[in-house]
Chain A
Amino acid sequence: MKNLINFLIHHSGFFVFLLLEILSLMLVFNNRDYQKSVFFSSSNTIISSFYNWNNYIVGFFNLSKSNQQLAEENTQLKNQLLDLQNKLEALQPSGTDSLSYKIPPEKQYRFIEAKVINNSTNKLQNYITLNKGALDGVKPDMGVINDEGIVGIVKNVSQHFSVVIPVLNPKIQINCKFKRNNYIGSLVWDGKDYRFASLTDIARHVPIKMGDTLVTSGLTTTFPEGIPVGTIENFNLKESDAYYEIKVKLATNFRTLSYVKVIDFKNAGELKELEKTAYEE
């Protein structure tokens, strides 16, 4: 017994080492169960307020660029507005014939504007933190886009912040299709370059060309149809393969991500519920 205690005391450093390493590995594995670790992640209020503060300072350096982007978007919107006004005037009946008036379809999507306060592109599993949370209506599984194209899917939400899994993380696959012929495949990131991802599940009989545009398929509730994903940069078909190897240039530049829009699909709950009951029967 005495020997055992002596042995333990003599090697106490080694046991502390083993204990701490096991603890770290448990943290690594529990991370898959991401919900549990929200306390330790950067959507934690204290950590986020650090980042918010950092972002407040760094934000000044990006002001001119953001301004320019906003101005461009503004002009585009104004042009659209003018265009639509012109069309509306052309359509307006000259008399009081109210029969031709059409009620606009109910808007299904709402956008929540958010700012990126933490972002990485160089890891094998990247995450983005946004400055909007449950109080602003953000919920897990909502899609995130910006003006260029698709960004990712919301994973964790706290009161004021949320964590997004971007396309640059092999944990998610994006269901997308060719704009030209509607063939559907899924997009996965291979961990190498933040500008490119690969497209799988496109069978060899599908005619594809360099520069074909990919958009979201609209088959999931996360993204509406037709949001730009990327263009085909390069493709390859081996003699023995049934599927193409396709390299996609992503539409979004993740390095300069600043403002994003979270998509709130109003009828998502209803749709999921309906599908669930149908599958269970």
Chain B
Amino acid sequence: MAITVFQNIIRFVLLMMVQIFVLNNIQLSGYINPYIYILFILSLPYRTPQWLTLILAFVTGLMVDIFMNTMGTHAFATVLMAFTRNGIINLITDFEKDENPTPSFYTFGIGVYIRYIVLLVFIHHTALFFLEAFSLAHFGIVIKKIFFSSVVSILLILGIQSLKKK
């Protein structure tokens, strides 16, 4: 238990540092803004109480917001993603009641894990970029941003996860 909490704290700090100091400075062609800090929420153990997942998502989103001057947008998208997380895990996997796996390639299986990441990253990025634009006037740009950023975020997240040992 204590080890799990410690692991998650380390993961949170590392992902935040990479997001804020490295990825937020990468501006490829204006359409690619990868956000990998959500991997923290995506890697919480399956049976984490829902209220705790949601509050952690809110705090994570708010931290990114504070550093990026985008009050509330990241918090909104991350909480939405955290809320849909358990539903999606239930939908694509069939774990027993007493199992409490930490989502990864090894516990979910490669295909299922990729599906899990793709769906949730897409939900997060869609909410995020629409809220950022806050009007349908920039519809075309927003769609492009969602698509390209999601692809890069998904590849980065899968890359990070594939480096991990069992």
Contacts and interface: CB of A to CB of B under 8 A. Distances in A.
B71 A40 contact: yes
Interface stretch (A26-34, A80-88, A231-239, A260-268): A26-34
B139 to A, nearest CB: 11
- The SS class assigned to the A binding surface is helix
Interface in A13-55: 13-14, 16-17, 20-21, 23-31, 37, 40-42, 44, 47, 50, 54
A184 interface: no
A24 B25 CA distance: 24
Interface string A221-245: 0000000000000000000000000
Interface of B: 20-21, 24-25, 27, 30-31, 33, 50-51, 54-55, 57-58, 61-62, 65-73, 75-76, 79-80, 83, 131-134, 138, 141
Interface stretch (A98-106, A121-129, A132-140): A121-129
A14 B80 CA distance: 11
Contacts of A17: 54, 79, 83
Given A16-B54, A193-B30, A194-B30, A21 B76 contact: yes
Interface residues of A, number: 38
B65 to A, nearest CB: 7
Nearest to B75: A24
B30 A25 contact: no
B132 A20 contact: no
Contacts of A125: 132
B90 to A, nearest CB: 13
